[in-house]
Chain A
Amino acid sequence: MGQPRVETQRPVSDEVRKTTCYMCACRCGINVHLNSGKVTYIEGNRDHPVNKGVLCAKGASGIMQVTAPSRLRAPLRRVGPRGSGAFEEISWDEALSLAVDWLKPLREEAPEKLAFFTGRDQSQSFTGWWAQQFGTPNYAAHGGFCSVNMAAAGIYTIGGAFWEFGQPDWAHTKLFVMFGVAEDHDSNPIKIGLGKLKARGARVIGINPIRTGYNAVADDWLGITPGTDGLLILSLIHCLLAAGKIDLDYLARWTNAPLLVNEAEGPEKGLILKNAESQPFVIDKRTGMPAPWDGAGVQPDLGAVWQGHRTVFQHMAERYLDEQYAPEAVEARVGIPAARIRALAAELARVAFDEAFELPVEWTDFRGDRHKTMLGRPVSFHAMRGISAHSNGFQTARALHLLQIVLGTVEVPGGYRLKPPYPKPVEAHPTPHFVAAAGKPLSGPHLGYVRGPENLALKEDGTPWRIDKAFTWENPFSAHGLMHMVIPNAHAGDPYKVDTLFLYMANMSWNSSMNSARVMEMLTDKGEDGEYVIPRIIYSDAYASEMVAYADLILPDTTYLERHDCISLLDRPISEPDAAGDAIRWPVVEADRDVRGFQSVLLDLGVRLGLPGMTNPDGTAKFRDYADYIVNHQRRPGVGPLIGFRGDGTAEGRGDPNPDQLQRYIENGGFYQAHVPEGAEYYKPWNAAYQDWAVATSFYESPQPYLFSIWSEPMRKFQLAAEGQGFIQPPDHLRAQLKLAMDPLPLWYPPFGEDAAAGYPVHALTQRPMAMYHSWGSQNAWLRQIHGKNYLYLPTKIWEAEGFAEGDYARVTSPTGEIVVPVAHMAALNADTVWTWNAIGKRKGAWALDEGAPEATEGFLLNHLISELLPEKGDGHRWSNSDPVTGQAAWFDLRVKIARVGPRDHSEPSFPVLPRVVPKGRARG
């Protein structure tokens, strides 16, 4: 019998449309294949800078997202009690009129009564601009409960962060060390990079309590105790200093190590010493005399003492040489033997210094000094939420940047490289803007970088301007706002009450809040007057998430294949170290429901409200829709949301709006790249060629060379205030916290709440699964077959001590909550840590899933164990469970105790079934 003939020449599709994925924050390029106008297959775009053709499990399941039964179908108005799910479908005109009825009086009388917060928004430069035109100070996205520690510590120290704002020099690095990295940010690029390292046998070290994913393939694993990474890092710095294995030349040239710290008692103590022109200076080794910090040929002396003032270098070395940072002094606390800490320090030093290399690339620095080569040190680091989601996360992230700095591995070949528009120092960022005035726009962007107490968002009476209390003494550097405090503060009327809560893609009644059950109550609580404490809630989402039931007005968004978007250099671009990059989404299929892209809806609403910037003098719309805005909006003359194909189509970075711009992006695969010129690829903060290119490409208006901040002057200014210096003074109850947390040199302190956690010996963490991200993919028919149920993973020590067996449940108790959840054994885990996959648990009735879906019966959230406030201290204050520098939600400080309860068939707490706003899903779409 002959073999059957197999058809091997079938064309995949009759059309390929290239756009940008939205299944997480990676923003990979995708080829969407269509047959007769219907999406039939999605694969990675090989030309795209982010993913270079590959695609993760989520991206390759995007087709199930576009056909999901949980898609909202039309605008909805609440007609029964909040949370009852009683809605009626209304027209867009009715929906927008209703929103205008609510919002217009607020703008005219008290714009701060609108709190507009966006969750997994990828258009923050637009939504923020809209809120600015409205005039409310109450705008932020979700960074406050995500990873603002990572962003802010990076900006304040090296002018750029980990996250997706930089990456190791994958081509040259020989040793790659990850701290607290699960598989979310920056997902596909890190996987691609790890693959490159593995292919050439480079070393990978994972420092994480949990050995999964990237840590599973790491050559060495250090299963650290959660919350102690900062202590480990400072111990490594101790070892390197003691051995003299530090890059003195790098420290002297590119950091503020040679600047002098003012030692004189008084209001300037601890600030960087300035000359008569208010400029910092160094002592030139050639003359022993003061010289400009940026002077040509100057050789800064790290060991200088001038008129009793010592260098930053000496302060730094003195602190970390102290025996409290010796490996033997920290080993018990970090859970790693001293010998391993010393061995890691030795390996870092060996690779950084013994395997240093030079690239034959000539370059000129900002001082005008010419360099024949570029020195490389092939050690690189990456870190994410494992170090940042703690109340000591800001200082820990700063400590890690200091470790990179003393090894001389930032912005050098083989080290960590920032992606344009970074590097960018604090000074090149705006300060926060927050002064609300009736009927007026805000004077500038909401979110910014505070330089000192004078930038805090405080009214004359000392109360916060913002509902989330961002930029206050409680968390001065809250550069992303505090989304997790919005509902609790609005409910408590602290600092004031709001009228309308307007949310976009933020699942606040479920996995995006701490203490979800209490938040549900806050959303439905009524005051003595019988009105809701939070009077109005407008919500926009594409799917029937848990939050929908708690809104009064639903503005249904499109899926990612049905919309325009821009991934902008003004926001969170898709750059590579060697190229600035941005991208678009465009409707590769038309929506088959009565839904609209949220950004176009905001513009429409803005015109109806008469907001400046989007309304012509005659009251007509300045922009037809979001696509029109993307092309024609100018943030500064010649600078708009997209850098590519400007002007006549050839201009890059700066240029007039080009009506063909979106079409040119589409023809180019949906993205644009502006390449860093040769000789400008490394040493970017100090490289004259890079600085000139950055100005030409519109990142800033003049070159911005700067020194890395080992000693943070903005932080010291807050410490000074806490010590009683200056006119702007913190409340007394926050002085001790500010003195500790705003230390100008990185330090470690135990995570807050440890005292209250005395009877709770176990650390509890969550990780994002690689095949699921937040709740975006949770109703995805394919992905839920991979992660449809989560377990609490228990280490061998707890598993055996409590006599657990397969099929068991455990009672997990924290100082503020209790859950009963299914457990499983996992050996490759820190002995005092338990963990689970994040956001698998669903509320019954949400996401068009069956009430009996495993996500809703056995699946669970740890959120119920975490409060947005620390336990009361009896001092009358509400102490936020957040990092005291940035306000980042301290999810990973969670401590619990575990008890076996035997087999069960459902998790607790169990909530009533959410009324359905879309029919239950049956067959695959």
Chain B
Amino acid sequence: MRKILSLTALVAGLSAGLVTASTARADIVVGFVTSLSGPGASIGIPYGRGIQAALEYKGEVNGEKIRLIQLDDGSDPSAATRAARKLIEEEKVDLLIGTATAPSTIAMMAVATELKVPMIAVSPVTGQPNPEDQWGISVPQPASLLVKVVADRMKRDGVKNVGYIGFSDAWGDLVYNGAKAAEAGEGIKVLTNERYARVDTSVTGQILKVLATRPDAVLIGGSGTQGALPLLALADRGFKGKTYGTVALVNPDFVRVGGKAAEGIQVSAGPVIVAEQLPDSHFAKKLALEFRAAYQKANNMPTTDGFSAYSFDGWKIFTTAAERALKTAKPGTAEFHKALRDEILNTRELAGVHAIYNFKAGAYHGVDERALVIVRLVNGAWTYEP
């Protein structure tokens, strides 16, 4: 009896498999991985909300419905790898989008390349892809660009000598290297390379060292709440010069902790941060306001961050490419995956809420200086500084 039962089950399973394989699917399936738990959650949760807003904004392409499957990777690269495999092999997704931390994103990119499914990364990916076998792109502005735009502003402000203090981690290195690279072109000079850890109790020593070189301005290579620590120490020592930073500082807790000491700092950030203040002619204004409305509708709360907007821009790149790819192939097939990849790498002058995107094989990033504006902290609010 048991034998017959298992045989029946086998036959049923086989035929079911055959049926799925033979029917071309009507809807496009997107696999989205983000960090809803673990240390990456403070970025991963906004990414998740951003993708919900994007789905609300555009839920179908050429009449084909888009089905979104979301998985949590717990900020763990091996969990991200498993999630990516599961999405491709079991759910047969046509596209991967993810995730909140850089190591997990790189791990997912490896799976996407191996199984030949296109991927849109919402975290910065460093390095250079092999143009013959590139299956992924990255949406955010790279650190070098963030710093270059700040350096341009320093030059305009007449700053010559810059003191640098940043985190003693990869982010601190990226910002410092960006500033060093900008030295020649912008005529500025980076005088110090002081570092501190997120859990340090004091930066007095580092700040004294920075001030001993008599800089016109100080560049902060920290992020989030603890990015305010050098600013507080500078204020204690009565520093009157200008301060600069990157979008990594834009966070409500940074403003709360920094208080008066953080006033006046200028950072480079995506235009969506100050959408309401942009001039009507700015490419991001109309779309950013539409994004805000969609976000409000999907999540029932206003946007406060720039991260959710990366998900939104990733979605915009995907849907635009899918419109063209659908003309040549049906979703769920290998031909469609290849067509979608080719069309994503063929994105030209596509306006998002963060940037105007131009992708080509051989590079992960596809943004230029138009992707960043300078904002200044005035009375606890970020203000557009054209």
A and B: interacting chains: no
